[in-house]
Amino acid sequence: MKKLFSFLAICLFVLVSCEPDPILSLDKGTLEFSAEGGSQTVYVTANNEWSVVQDGAEKFCTVSPASGLESGYITVTVQSNTTWANRKAKFTITCSSNKQTMSRTLEIKQLCVVGQAQVETCVLDPDENGKVPADGGTVKLTITANGPWVIKCDATDVTLQPVESTDSRKEVVATVPACPAFEGRTINFSITCETEAGENTTEYKVEQAGGVLAYGGEVYHAAKMKDGKWWMTENLRYVPSGMTPSDDVNAVTNGIWYPVVIDELTPDKATVKFSKEAADIKANGYLYNTETALGLKTGDLTVENCKNYEGVQGICPDGWHIPTRAEIIALVGKTASADDTNPNAPYYDPDLNGGNASVAKLNADGFNAGAWGAVSIANTTIAKAALMGAVKAYQGGMNTGYIAGSSLIDTGKNLTTNADGSLKNCQFVGFMPNMNNGTFNGAWNNYRNGVSVRCVKNN
């Protein structure tokens, strides 16, 4: 019996000692995946049982099967990577045989998505036909991104809040001041999103309307009309050096007056008065005689020189001038002379009272046509002015007035002299509104009248 047990022990020893050493290899030691993830296979060569264990805490991938006997394939499946960083995982494959253990390491590398950002929505407040108004406003940009992002603006006067974020969706508020460029500007934004896999920059732009200029401590608006020119859409509120506005109807040579406003307007009575109220000055501007408008002093115009000031800058800002007859006709298409009718002018309406310039058409394009009254001084012999502007027939407010022009009407009846040969009166082509019938035509304006001034931009 003892001999039998000894024999069995020897056989068992022989069997154990004859088990081969472990064999283990992988056809790939590293697998690389894109951010989208997916599956790849690895061939395991082994001569015994083997198992797979993941090292570390990263759990974005799995291996199947997790164990096996002898050679075969394993499949590595990786989830999509929505983080901002590349990621890694490591698996250890172990095979044991003949009391020996052999291990191999399988590394998994996955890229993250490349940084991407975009403007999901853009809201302008206020919105001027798809542009930021010339006076300024806010631009609200909703940013969507797949990583940390930074936003910048090429306009240094525009402020951004916030300028960066790690949120995948965030609203940025851009505060835009008044436009520094008269003809408007393009405001460019750049949003850069960066992850470990790389970055991308998205460009976005908004337009800001032009038509704002500062002059004499005031800010004025202007509009580019269909005649192709920029026109002020507000009356001048400029006081030339050495001058003081007057509210005295006897000050017929003062050259500048406070605005005229409604005093009483009823079906039985229509009167106007001067106003020193800041709100009225802002809304209506001052009233100027033509000499002041042309940049002269009262008394400077003479029979000899009164035709020499067409198109001058006058009291307008640099780069602007007092409108000419040709510019008035090209804009509205009609003056007091039948020879000056231009039915092709953009604001001429052939159906308006037999053919006239239209207040409605002008204002649809932002001209702000209206009536602001006037100081009526017929000629140099007048010692007391009359105020004009309201009529009982029009209960909507001020009905008429004038806007100064720089082109002389050089005819006998429009250019008159006193007995001593000095200038008595001359007339210039200006604008004359009639709000009761909605017309805004060119008209003859006595040069001593106190009227509104609108400037037109030089070409």
pLDDT, mean of residues 344-359: 96
pLDDT, mean of residues 322-336: 95
pLDDT, mean of residues 8-27: 67
Tell me how far apart the alpha carbons of residues 389 and 277 are, in angstroms, rounded to a whole number. 18
The widest CA-to-CA distance across the chain, in whole angstroms, is: 166
pLDDT digits (tens, 9 = 90+) for 354-388: 999 999 999 999 999 999 999 999 999 999 999 99
Report the percentage of the chain scoring pLDDT > 90: 89
Identify the CATH number of the domain defined by range 117-208: 2.60.40.10
Structure tokens at 119: 């403007």
How far, CA to CA in Å, does 212 sit from each of 181, 221, 224, 274? 8, 5, 11, 28
Phi, psi of 271 (to 5 degrees): -130, 155
Q: H helices then E strands: how many in the chain?
A: 5, 34
Is the pLDDT confidence value at 14 over 50?
no
Structural domain spans, the chain = 21-110, 117-208, 213-457
The reply to whether 21-110 and 117-208 are identical in fold is yes
How confident is residue 18, by pLDDT bands cut at 50, 70 and 90? low
Residue 277 DSSP label: -
Map tokens 């032009």 to a residue. 210
Residue 15, pLDDT score: 45
51 forms beta bridges with 67, 94
User: For the whole model, what pTM was predicted?
Assistant: 0.71
Domain 21-110 in CATH: superfamily?
A: Immunoglobulins (2.60.40.10)
Tell me how far apart the alpha carbons of residues 346 and 348 are, in angstroms, rounded to a whole number. 6
pLDDT, mean of residues 262-280: 97
* Range 237-257 burial, b when 16+ CB lie within 10 A, else e: bbbbeebebbeebebbbbbbb
Residue 298, pLDDT score: 97
Using an 8 Å Cβ cutoff, are 283 and 231 in contact? no
How far, CA to CA in Å, does 386 sit from each of 29, 243, 273, 376, 442? 102, 21, 10, 5, 22
Is the pLDDT confidence value at 12 over 60?
no
Is the pLDDT confidence value at 13 over 50?
no
Q: Which residue has the higher pLDDT, 169 or 7?
A: 169
Using an 8 Å Cβ cutoff, are 368 and 233 in contact? yes
Is the pLDDT confidence value at 338 over 80?
no
How confident is residue 11, by pLDDT bands cut at 50, 70 and 90? very low
Nearest partner of 443 among 417, 413, 407, judged by Cα = 407
pLDDT digits (tens, 9 = 90+) for 205-252: 999 999 999 999 999 999 999 999 999 999 999 999 999 999 999 999
pLDDT, mean of residues 46-52: 95
Residue 140, pLDDT score: 98
Is the pLDDT confidence value at 7 over 50?
no
pLDDT digits (tens, 9 = 90+) for 121-156: 999 999 999 999 999 999 999 999 999 999 999 999
Amino acid at 174: A
Is the pLDDT confidence value at 442 over 50?
yes
